[in-house]
Structure 1
Amino acid sequence: MRSSKGLLMLLIAGLAGLGAVVFATRWVQAQAAGDGKIAVAGTDLELGSRLSPEMLRMVDWPAGSVPPGAFLDLKLLEGRVVKTSLQRGEPVLESKLAPEGTKGGLSAVVAEGKRAMTVRVNDVVGVAGFALPGNYVDIMVNTQEEGANRSDRDRAISKIVLERILVLAVAQEANRDTTKPRVVNAVTLEVTPEEAEKLDLARSVGSLSLVLRNQIDPKMAETEGATKTSLLNGVAVAPPAPAPKPAARTVVRRGKPAAPVATVAAAPTEPRSCVEVIKGVIKVTECF
C-alpha cells in the first residue's frame, strides 16, 4: 500500500516537472520570436567617418529594449557621417549622425552657426598637450595697453578674451576618446563668427595662451586683466627720472663784434676738487 502511494507521488512529481520544462521552453521561444536586429558598429569609428556597409553589422536585440533612433536596415546608413566616436558593437543611432548629405571630415562635426579656427601653439601654450579634442579652454592674450609700445613692459596686460571654447582637433587628430596628452603645434577650436574675429585680432596684437577648464563648469569669469601694477599689489611703477639738462654757456670769439653771440650746451662734467693758490698779489684757482 505504501509502495503504491510512493510510486503515485513520484509520477505526479515527474509530470509537474515535465510541464514546467515545456512551459519554460515555450516562454523562451516566445521571447526569442520577438527579438529584432539593429545596426551596430563593426569596428571602432572616429568622428567624421563616412559609413559604408563593411563598417557595420546587424545583431540580435531584444524587441522591448531597442534604443530610440536605431536602424533596422544597413542600406539606410550608407553614406552617413558619424559626429561622435563609436566603439565596436555600439548601436548606430540617429543622434550620433550628422544630417543627411553631410560630407565626411571635421566639417561634419562643427555645430550649426559655429566655425572651426586653428591657432598655433607650443608645449606651454597648449597646456603641455592636455588640451585634447572635446575639452574646453579659455583664450588669454598678453599684449600692451592702448597707446603703449611693444617694448614697454611696464604697460603690459594679460586678459582672458574668450571663454569655454571647444577644442575640435589637435594637429590632424580629432578623436575625443583619447586621454593621453599630445604636444602639437596647432589646435583647432570651435568658435562663433564674432569669437573668430576676436581670436584673429588677439593673435595679431599679442601672444596667446590656452587655459584648460573643467568640462562641466559653465560659469564665466569676469576679470579686468592683470597688469604690472596689479601684479605688484597696487604699487605703481615710478617712471625713470629725466636726465638733467646741460647748463648753457656763452662763447664770445675774439676780434669779432659782440652782437652775434653763439650759445652752446656745456657738456656735463664730473665734480672736481679746487684750491686757491696765491702768488704774490695774484690769486689763482686750480681744480684737479
Structure 2
Amino acid sequence: MRLGSFVMAIAGLSVAGGSVYAVRNYISAQAMQVQDANASVVRVLAAAHDIPFGHAIEGHMLTTIEWPASSVPPGAFTDRAEVLGQTGGEPRRAKARLAQGELLLSTKLSEFGEKVTIVQTLGANTRAMAIKVDAETAVGGFVTPGDYVDVLLTQGRDSEIRAVTILQNIRVVGVDQSSDEQSDETAIARTVTVEVTPGEGQRLALAQKAGTLSLSLRTLEGAVDEPLESVRLADLMREVSPVPETEKRRTVRVRRGTGDVQFVEVE
C-alpha cells in the first residue's frame, strides 16, 4: 500500500508539473504574440477633423492613429515635423478635402508654400473650361463640383431649331468660385467649370458660339454612352403628312348604235 501511494503521488506531481509547464509556455507564447503585434504597428498622422480644400495645415488639425506596418500606404507621414515644417515657415495645404480620421498622404498635401488651385484636381492632359449657365441650363442649381454631366447644344430658330448632345460624362470641377466636392449647397450659378480634353475643349468653344448650352446631370449608377443624333422640332411634334382625300370620279354612259352601253370614268 505504501508503494502504491508513493507511485500515485509521484504520478500526480508529474501531471501537475506538466500542467504548470504547459500553462507557462502558453502564457509566454501569448506574450510573444502581443509583442510581435505591437512591434508591427506604426503610428501615422491623420486629420483630427475635416480639413477643407486649400486650407493650410496646422498642428491642431493633426492626430495619430495606429496602422499595421505591413500595409502603410506610400506617402504616409509618421513625423509631425514633416507636415508642419519650421515654425513661422510657409505651410503645406490640402490639395483635396480631407475627412476626419483620413490618413495624410504626400499626394494630398502641397509642398511648403505651394499655391493650391483647381489645377491640382485635374487629370493628366486635361483642361478646365467654363460654361455660361443659368437656372434653366444648369439643372436648377443642383449641379455641384464632383458631379458628372452631359453637355447639350440647342441652336436654330422657329421650326429649324434643333438640339444635340456634344459631350458625355464630363466632370464638373467648379461652380462659380467653389470647387468643394463635399459641399451640398445648391445655388443658381452663372458659370460651371468642367474638365475636358483639348479636343473636347475645342468642340465646347465652338458650341458656345453656335447656340445655347445646357447641362444634363448624370446618374450615379453606371451609364452606357451611345452616339446620339440631333433632334429637331419636327421630331417632337411628330408631324405626319396628311392623307390625300379619295379622288372623286364621274361616270359617263355612252350608248352606241349597236345597242351596247359602255361606262367611262372621267376626272
TM-score, length-scaled by structure 1: 0.65
Q: Aligned pair in 2 of structure 1 residues 43, 210: CA closer, same or farther (>3 Å)?
A: same
What SS does the aligned partner of 2:168 have? strand
Pairwise mapping of residues 230-249 of structure 1 onto structure 2 (< 5 A)?
230-233=235-238, 235=240
Unaligned runs of 5+ in 1: 145-151, 237-288
Equivalent pair of 2:76/2:103 in contact (CA under 8 Å): yes
Shift of 1:183: 3.5
Q: Secondary structure at the match of 1:24?
A: helix
Distance 2:54 2:238 in 1: 49
Whether 2:121 is the aligned partner of 1:109: answer yes
1:94 aligns to what? 106
RMSD: 3.2
Give the match for residue 138 of structure 1: 150
State yes or no: 1:65 paired with 2:71: yes
Matches within 5 A, 1:1-288: 1=5, 2=8, 5-6=11-12, 8-78=14-84, 79-97=91-109, 102-144=114-156, 152-177=157-182, 180=184, 182-186=186-190, 187-214=192-219, 217=222, 220-233=225-238, 235=240
CA offsets 1:78-107 (integer angstroms, 9 cap, x no match): 444444332222212234446787412323
Match of 1:284 in 2: none
How many residues were matched structurally? 229
Question: Larger C-alpha radius of gyration, 1 or 2?
Answer: 1
Distance 1:203 1:224 in 2: 19
Structure 2 length normalisation: TM-score? 0.69
> What SS does the corresponding residue of 1:229 show, helix, strand or coil?
helix
Check the 8 A contact 1:50/1:80 in 2, yes or no: yes
CA distance in 2, matches of 1:181, 1:58: 32
TM-aligned CA deviation for residue 156 of structure 1: 0.6
For structure 2, the 5+ residue unaligned runs are 85-90, 242-267
> Aligned-pair distance for 1:206?
2.6
Distance of aligned partners of 1:194 and 1:65 in 2 relative to their CA distance in 1, 3 Å threshold: closer
Percent of residue pairs bearing the same amino acid type: 30
Letter matched to residue 182 of structure 1:
T
Q: Which residue number corresponds to residue 246 of structure 2? A: none
Where has structure 1 moved over 6 Å in runs of 4 or more?
Answer: none
